[in-house]
Homo-oligomer: A and B are copies of this chain.
Amino acid sequence: MKRILVLGAGLSATSLIDYLLKHSEIEDWQLRIGNRHTEKTREKIAGHPRGEAIKFDVQNQAQIDEEVKGCDIAVSFLPARFHALIAEACVKHGKHMVTASYVSKEMQALDKSAKDKGIVMLNELGVDPGIDHMSAMRVIDDIRDQGGKMLAFSSSTGGLIAPEYDNNPWHYKFTWNPRNVVLAGQATSCYLENNKYKYIPYHQLFTRTAKTEVLDFGKFEIYPNRDSLSYRKTYGLEDIPSIFRGTFRRPGYCKAWNVFVQLGLTDDTVIYEGDENTSYREFINSFLPYDPERSVEDKICSMLHLDPDGEIMEKFEWLGIFEDTPINMKNASPAEILQSILEEKLALGENDKDMIVMQHKFVYEQDGVKKGRKSSFAYIGKDQTQTAMAITVGIPAAIAVRLLAIGEIKLTGVHTPVIPELYNPILDELEKYDIQFIEEDMEV
């Protein structure tokens, strides 16, 4: 019998726990699921005899030690900053580990110790990072195996509202952590285009968009992600002339979001001086020049050259940002206040379903001919618990746990799924869950 320890039982762990419980009888696993509160964990276990909910406190080093010592594989779905704590215990006690998060410096530093202990620490096994790596690397390796030379790689992902439930002028709802959406892109973005480095400061980000279509899911716009350049090393594309990573939104979103950025409403570095009674309108006015003769709407339009009757102003009016509604917040940053205003209108409705969209584009040279391929994927959530986000984050990690438990992964040290040994079996099994990329040739 294998003992699997799952730490963290939040929304993103739902599908992971489901998968592991479903396989637990036939594979002879026992699951211990640790979370701050056991109530929600018990709901997720739903009386399954192979699952046990335990109260887990990540501040309790003795408990970490005890739990890790007693398991064969530890899965951390805790907030990413806690992975290193668990990883150290795994190295100490010689236990395998799985996470869906980016490899941190602390995690990478354990590579040698993990190898010495003969254990593996598998990371970046969610959707982004995770499915993006696996689906891209399968194509890149295939192109190289056939003697192709990569000329350009671009990859974009988005978490959006499913088309059937897309019923607001932003064509957007919060399908994951709203704070991350409000703060998205607050770092310089850089990418490479025909051997030219391109840097985009945050305040230009939402003006430098591209357009694309994905399968029959319609049109999307793409804004650049932070650091596309680092993917050259991750994917072994050190000499590639063009590399780009982006985020999908529906057309029109970026131009409107850019107004928030231009005004300074996404600023998380200062505390706004207003109080609970400050109105939305007054809050917005704080970011506009003083002029008692002109309306807030008038000032925004003239400052940012907007059409007063255009689509962008329509989006703001729909949000109600010009209303006298009180912000009901104190000692909050502009970003926190904006988030709270947006959550009123952009929250996922009770019956809404979310969607994950991903698309890679590959340009390469083979036998002197320039060729193109694209690989696309869209996945719609099942309900508000089994969201597309929860499924696409949890299932790849769960599959990796199964492969580890049945001894099909022979690696040691710190890894991400950019190698065939990991991406092939995981991608193959993901197809059973309709997580499948459609490959097409692309004109270049």
Contacts and interface: CB of A to CB of B under 8 A. Distances in A.
Interface in A257-280: 262-264, 267, 269-270, 272-274
A287 B201 CA distance: 8
Given A229-B273, A273-B190, A200 B290 contact: no
Interface stretch (A130-138, A191-199, A248-256): A191-199
23 contacts: A187-B269, A188-B264, A188-B270, A190-B270, A190-B273, A193-B290, A196-B285, A197-B273, A198-B286, A198-B287, A198-B289, A198-B290, A199-B270, A199-B272, A199-B286, A199-B287, A200-B264, A200-B287, A201-B203, A201-B264, A201-B287, A202-B203, A208-B289
From A199, A203, A208, A269, residue with most partner B Cβ within 10 Å: A199
Shortest beta-carbon contacts, A-B, top 9:
A201-B264, A203-B203, A193-B290, A188-B270, A197-B286, A197-B273, A199-B286, A188-B267, A199-B287
Range, interface on chain A: 20 to 34
A267 B203 CA distance: 12
A188 B269 contact: yes
Contacts of A273: 190, 197, 229
Contacts of A289: 198, 208
Q: How many copies does the complex hold?
A: 2
Nearest to A305: B305
Contacts of A204: 262, 264
Nearest to A229: B273
Given A208-B289, A273-B229, A290-B193, A264 B198 contact: no
A374 to B, nearest CB: 20
Contact of A201 (B193, B267, B285): B267
Contacts of A47: none
Interface in A62-79: none
Interface string A279-297: 0000001110110100000
A334 interface: yes
A287 B285 CA distance: 31
Interface string A171-200: 000000000000000011010011011111
Nearest to A196: B290
B197 A292 contact: no
A382 to B, nearest CB: 40
Interface in A219-247: 229
A331 to B, nearest CB: 14
Contacts of A194: 290, 292
Contacts of A202: 203
A427 to B, nearest CB: 32
A337 B292 CA distance: 42
From A187, A200, A272, residue with most partner B Cβ within 10 Å: A200
A199 B285 CA distance: 9
Contacts of A188: 264, 267, 269-270
